[in-house]
Structure 1
Amino acid sequence: TAAATDGATATDAAEPPASEPAAEPAADGDPCRADQITVEAVTDAAVYAAGEQPKLSVTITNTGSNSCVMNVGTAAQVFTVTSGADTYWTSTDCQVDPVDAEVSIEPGTPVSSSEPITWDRTRSSADTCGGERTSVPAGGASYHLNVSMSGFESSTSKQFLLY
């Protein structure tokens, strides 16, 4: 009986170190991990009147317990506007001079875009950068904004309406 108890104790003592590395929090300054970053797509309004241009931005929150570092520059950002199954506009289609910006994201302190991107309500593609672009449907049309930051995707889209 004593041997069985010792065996159980030895097994119990061995378990925490085996599971500890998987649950170990990142050290301050480590690269951000998917399990500690939340990306939220943000618009400046839910409904836009005819002629109003949506301002698109992003908020990043570190839900972990340590600061982490990630690229939040324009080179790491992808804003995508969709409606139904159609992708109408992507920020990287005609992006000029993308920059990297490695920053430390502190736990529990949301970080938002310093300058929102203004969407001109046109359809984009990589081959429409030099010419005129087609306006997207309005009149109450529903659109969704999704954002990716350094490969971390927004968990939900932000819906908005164009009139």
Structure 2
Amino acid sequence: MPENTGSRGPSRNTRSTPSPRSGSGGSSSGKGVPTGRAAKSAGSAKTTKTATSAGAGTTAGRGRGRSASHPGASRRVADPATFRRRRLLVLVLALLLVAGIGLGVWAIVRALDAGTATDPEADTTPVATESVTPTDPAGDGTGDESPTEPEPTEPEIGATPPIPTACTPEEATLAVVTPSSPRAGATVGASIEVATTGTTPCLVDLGSGATTVEVLSGEDLVWTSAHCAFAPSERRLLLGEGATDSQLVTWPGSRSVEGCAAGQATAEPGTYRVVVTHRLDGQTLVGESTFSLS
């Protein structure tokens, strides 16, 4: 019994002190077993470190994910559809501007044209109609003038003109103009005038070959151009619608004989008639005038 008590003494009173780490050859008691508080502290430190590392990794992952999913965070780039819509809008606006300008110019031009068309002061120049004024021959024969030639009548281009014929009494008139009271023994002028009244052009010849002038006192033939022909002998003209022509013939105030011999008796004062006869191509025009010698 005493031997058992002595052997337990050392076991109770002696505490085993952990030795420092001596390498891989030491026993488990040589490494040291941590106490309960120390183990808790160590486990808490490991948990905190792991959580910190995990948080950092999660933050980094989120940052990388955000950067990858939102490349326009630092610089926004429009997509092609937006560019196309903008270009289409600009094109439509440009077309509307051009159309507006064109419409404005058109309206101005139309307004100017309308003002010109309705201008009451438009230039309306009347067409002058040329006519031949009858010559009033003087009793002394100084009024002899050359007749005015009428304008020729031309047919329309491409049309076949009709063959001209002599003027008939229905197509023309013949008149004689003389002074009212010439002196006896003085030269008396007689103006032969022809005017067309129809629409068809016709021929006249106021020369002495086709026109005869006679001076009569009652039924007495005092003087005639058949004895003393006047100039010209032929004067044929084609007269159109509304045309006129004239020829001046002078009477010396004396009688005449065949051959127009000079020195014939002077006509006495009194009333005389001038009869003009125009004959051409079977058509006859006659005109007459009366005057008195004083």
Larger Rg: 2
Letter paired with 2:224 = T
The alignment's C-alpha RMSD in Å is 2.2
Q: What does 1:148-163 correspond to in 2, within 5 Å?
A: 148-150=277-279, 152-155=284-287, 157-163=288-294
For 1:130, the equivalent position in structure 2 comes to 261
Relative distance call for 1:51 and 1:87 in structure 2 (3 A) is closer
More strand by share: 1
TM-score, scaled to structure 2: 0.40
**Number of aligned residues:** 130
Q: What does 1:91-110 correspond to in 2, within 5 Å?
A: 91-95=225-229, 99-110=233-244
Separation in 2, partners of 1:94, 1:51: 17
Which structure ranks higher in relative contact order (CA pairs < 8 Å, sequence separation ≥ 6)? 1
**Any conservation in 1 of the 2:277–2:286 contact (CA below 8 Å)?**
yes
Note the residue ranges of structure 2 that are not aligned, 5 or more in a row.
Answer: 1-161
How big is the shift at 1:143?
0.4
**Any conservation in 2 of the 1:73–1:102 contact (CA below 8 Å)?**
yes
Letter paired with 1:33 = T
Matched, 1:29 2:158: no
TM-score, scaled to structure 1: 0.70
Note the residue ranges of structure 1 that are not aligned, 5 or more in a row.
Answer: 1-26
Identity %: 25
More helix by share: 2
**Any conservation in 2 of the 1:28–1:67 contact (CA below 8 Å)?**
no
1:96-137: per-residue Cα shift (whole Å, max 9, x none)? 776222211122222111xx222111111215x234111111
Matched, 1:63 2:197: yes
Matched, 1:53 2:187: yes
- The runs of at least 4 consecutive aligned structure 1 residues that moved more than 4 Å come to none
How big is the shift at 1:88?
0.6
